[in-house]
Amino acid sequence: MVLPETDTLNAKRIAVRLQEELQSVRTKHGGAFETTVHNYPDDAQSSHELEDIVKSVLPAKDDYGVAAPMPAQPKRKMGNL
């Protein structure tokens, strides 16, 4: 989540609140969530550096999960043109 114009202290407060709210989801579905706070210019000197930090904490593309199967499409009958 990107929070423009948010300082580190308030971003950490939001992260704690988000973790608290996601606790019920974690309990119900057994999922795992991790929040980290990175701030410009405290943690990165450029937007590219901040983007690299974000990419470093993302799971590998293979970890995104299996795509949901697509439902079969009904066959259309072709009429006379």
Nearest to 6 by CA among 56, 43, 55, 60: 43
Q: Residues of 30-67 as b/e, b for ≥16 C-beta within 10 angstroms?
A: eeeeeeebebeeeebeeeeebeeeeeeeeeeeeeeeee
Who wins on pLDDT, 63 or 46? 46
Specify the pTM. 0.58
pLDDT reading at 10 higher than 90: yes
- pLDDT band per the 50, 70, 90 thresholds, residue 11: very high
Is the Cβ–Cβ distance between 45 and 34 less than 8 Å?
no
What's the CA gap between 48 and 54, in Å, rounded? 10
Confidence check: pLDDT of 33 > 70: yes
pLDDT on residue 13: 95
